Structure 1
Amino acid sequence: MISSILLLAAVGLFAGIFGAVFGIGGGMIVTPVMTIGLGLDIKYAIGASVIAVIATSSGASIAYLKDDMLNLRVAMFLEIATTIGAIFGAILTGVLPAKILYVLFGLLLIFSSWNMLRKMRAGHESYRNTKPDGLSTKLKLNGSYHDQATNQDIDYQVANVPGGFAMMLGAGLASGLLGIGSGAFKVIAMDTIMKMPLKPSSATSNLMMGVTAAASATVYFFNGSIKPEIAAPLAIGILVGATIGSRIMQHLQAKLLRQIFVPILFLIGLQMFLKGFGVSFG
Structure 2
Amino acid sequence: MTIDPITFTLVLALAALSGALGSAVGMAGGVFLVPVLTIVGGVPWETAVAVSLFSVVASSSAAAPAALAAGLPNLRLAVTLEVATVLGSLGGIALLGLVHERILYGVFAAVLIVSAVQVLKRRHARTETASRGRDWGARLRLNSTFRDDGDVRSYVVRRVPTGLTVMFGAGTLSALLGIGSGVLKIPAMDMTLGLPIKVSSATANLMIGVTGCGTALAFLLRGTVTPLLAASAVLGSVVGSMFGARLLVRVPASILRTAMVVVLAVLAVPMTAFAFVAA
TM-score normalised over the length of structure 1: 0.82
Deviation at 1:141? 0.9
Distance 1:219 1:45 in 2: 14
How has the CA–CA distance of structure 1 residues 100 and 4 changed in structure 2, closer, same or farther, with 3 Å as cutoff?
A: closer
**1:55 and 2:54 matched:** no
Distance 1:106 1:34 in 2: 15
How has the CA–CA distance of structure 1 residues 87 and 238 changed in structure 2, closer, same or farther, with 3 Å as cutoff?
A: closer
- 1:146 matched residue in structure 2: 147
Kept in 1, the 8 Å contact 2:52–2:179? The answer is no
- 1:136 matched residue in structure 2: 137
Deviation at 1:235? 1.2
Q: Which moved more, 1:105-114 or 1:178-187?
A: 105-114
Kept in 2, the 8 Å contact 1:130–1:159? The answer is no
Unaligned runs of 5+ in 1: none
Q: Which moved more, 1:221-230 or 1:87-96?
A: 87-96
**1:20 and 2:19 matched:** no
Distance 1:31 1:101 in 2: 12
How has the CA–CA distance of structure 1 residues 184 and 271 changed in structure 2, closer, same or farther, with 3 Å as cutoff?
A: farther
Unaligned runs of 5+ in 2: none
Q: Which moved more, 1:31-40 or 1:231-240?
A: 31-40
Q: Which moved more, 1:84-93 or 1:217-226?
A: 84-93
Distance 1:128 1:164 in 2: 21
How has the CA–CA distance of structure 1 residues 31 and 159 changed in structure 2, closer, same or farther, with 3 Å as cutoff?
A: same
How has the CA–CA distance of structure 1 residues 271 and 164 changed in structure 2, closer, same or farther, with 3 Å as cutoff?
A: farther
Distance 1:35 1:91 in 2: 22
Paired residues in the alignment total 274
In the alignment, which of 268, 274, 279 is matched to residue 276 of structure 2? 279
CA RMSD of aligned residues (A): 3.2
Distance 1:264 1:28 in 2: 10
Distance 1:242 1:191 in 2: 22
* Residues 18-167 of structure 1 aligned to structure 2 (within 5 Å): 18-91=21-94, 110-119=113-122, 126=125, 129=128, 131-132=130-131, 134-147=135-148, 150-167=149-166
1:88-138 CA-partner distances (Å, limit 9, x unpaired): 444566888997787678656544533432327xxx6x4665653521112
Distance 1:97 1:44 in 2: 15
How has the CA–CA distance of structure 1 residues 256 and 136 changed in structure 2, closer, same or farther, with 3 Å as cutoff?
A: same
Kept in 2, the 8 Å contact 1:32–1:281? The answer is no
Distance 2:117 2:32 in 1: 23
Distance 1:107 1:44 in 2: 22
- 1:256 matched residue in structure 2: 255
- 1:212 matched residue in structure 2: 211
Give the secondary-structure state (helix, strand or coil) at the position aligned to 1:119.
Answer: coil
Distance 1:11 1:190 in 2: 28
Deviation at 1:35? 3.3
Distance 2:22 2:34 in 1: 13
Deviation at 1:53? 0.7
Give the secondary-structure state (helix, strand or coil) at the position aligned to 1:114.
Answer: helix
Distance 2:88 2:57 in 1: 19
1:13-39 CA-partner distances (Å, limit 9, x unpaired): 111101101111211222232334344
1:61-113 CA-partner distances (Å, limit 9, x unpaired): 12211221111111110011112223344456688899778767865654453
How has the CA–CA distance of structure 1 residues 39 and 103 changed in structure 2, closer, same or farther, with 3 Å as cutoff?
A: closer
Kept in 2, the 8 Å contact 1:102–1:272? The answer is yes
Q: Specify the code of the residue in structure 2 equivalent to 1:34.
A: L
How has the CA–CA distance of structure 1 residues 114 and 128 changed in structure 2, closer, same or farther, with 3 Å as cutoff?
A: farther
Distance 2:39 2:243 in 1: 26
How has the CA–CA distance of structure 1 residues 139 and 217 changed in structure 2, closer, same or farther, with 3 Å as cutoff?
A: same
Kept in 1, the 8 Å contact 2:102–2:277? The answer is no
1:212-265 CA-partner distances (Å, limit 9, x unpaired): 111111222233322232222321221121111010111111111111112334
Distance 1:102 1:39 in 2: 14
TM-score normalised over the length of structure 2: 0.83
